[in-house]
Amino acid sequence: MEIRVAIFEDNKLMRNGFEAICNGTEGITCCGVFHDCADFDYKIRKSDPHVILMDIEMPGMDGITATRQTIQKWPEIKILIQTVFEDDDKIFAAICAGASGYILKSTSPARLVEAIHEVYNSGSPMSPYIASRVLKLFQQFAPSVQENAEKYILSSREKEILSLMTEGLSFHLIAEKSFISYETVRTHVKRIYKKLHVASASEAVVKAIRQRLV
C-alpha cells in the first residue's frame, strides 16, 4: 500500500519540491498540496492522508495549531513537522501538540523520504540538532515533583529502547544498535506504549523524560 502524503507549505518552491519528491518515490504518493490551513477539515477529508508534511509558519492557522487539531480529530494521521526554524519554543510546542517527527527543511530528499517511512511506521524521526534540543528542553521543563516512576514497570530492554527513542533514533537504527530485528523493536515499542498509557512515540518520549524513566 502506498503512503498517502498531504503537504501544507506556504512557500511555492518548497511545496513543489516536496510534491515532486513524494510523487517521484516508489511507495509514496502526494494526495494533496495546500498553501495554508484554511478550510482545514475539508482539506484533510478530501486528501485522506496517512502522513502530513506540516510547515509551522503559514498565514492564518499555523502548523502547530493544525497539528493539535489533527491529533484530536484524526489520531491515526502522523504529522511530520518541517521548518527552517530552530526555535526552542516552536520545537517544544510542536512536540507537545502531538507531532510524530520534526526535521529541518535543509534535510536532504533521501532523508525526507526515510523520515516519511519512519513516521508512517510509528517512528519518531528528528534531525540530530532537533533531538538534542528536545532532550534539553524536557529536562529544563521537567516538573519538580515527579510521579512515582515505579508504577511504570519496564523491562531492561524496554528501558534501553525507550532511551534510544528519546535520542530521536528511528526504529531501524534502534534495531541496529540493539542487535535485534526491526519487528522486535516494534513489538517492544507497542508494549512500552501500553505500559506508559500513550499512543505515539512523541508522547512516550515526553513521558520518559518528564518522569525520568530513562
pLDDT per position as a tens digit, 165-214: 877 777 888 899 999 998 999 999 999 988 988 877 777 877 787 777 87
- Can you give the pLDDT at residue 19? 95
CATH of the domain at 59: 3.40.50.2300
Radius of gyration of the chain (CA): 17
| β-bridge partners, 101 | 80
Structurally, how many domains does the chain consist of? 2
Task: Assess whether pLDDT exceeds 70 at residue 51.
Answer: yes
Task: Assess whether pLDDT exceeds 70 at residue 128.
Answer: no
- Can you give the pLDDT at residue 136? 67
For residue 113, what pLDDT band results from cuts at 50, 70 and 90? Answer: very high
More confident residue, 149 or 53: 53
Q: Is the pTM of this model over 0.75?
A: no
Residue 190, burial from CB neighbour count under 10 angstroms (0-12, 13-18, 19+): exposed
For residue 102, what pLDDT band results from cuts at 50, 70 and 90? Answer: confident
| Residue whose C-alpha is closest to residue 77's, from 93, 54, 109, 105 | 54
- Can you give the pLDDT at residue 144? 44
Same structural domain, 63 and 117: yes
3-class DSSP assignment, residue 142: coil
As given in the structure block, the three cell numbers for residue 193 are 506504549
**Helical H segments across 48-150, by residue range:** 63-73, 88-97, 109-120, 128-141
Could you report the per-residue pLDDT of 141-179, keeping only the tens digit for each?
555 444 544 578 899 999 999 988 877 777 888 899 999
The mean per-residue pLDDT over the stretch 1-21 comes to 93
Domain ends where: 138, 164, 185?
138
Instruction: Count the alpha carbons within 13 Å of 196 in the hemisphere toward its beta carbon.
Output: 28
In terms of residue numbers, what domain contains 113?
A: 3-138
Domain ends where: 87, 106, 138?
138
Same structural domain, 44 and 70: yes
Q: How far apart are CA 163 and CA 178, in angstroms?
A: 11
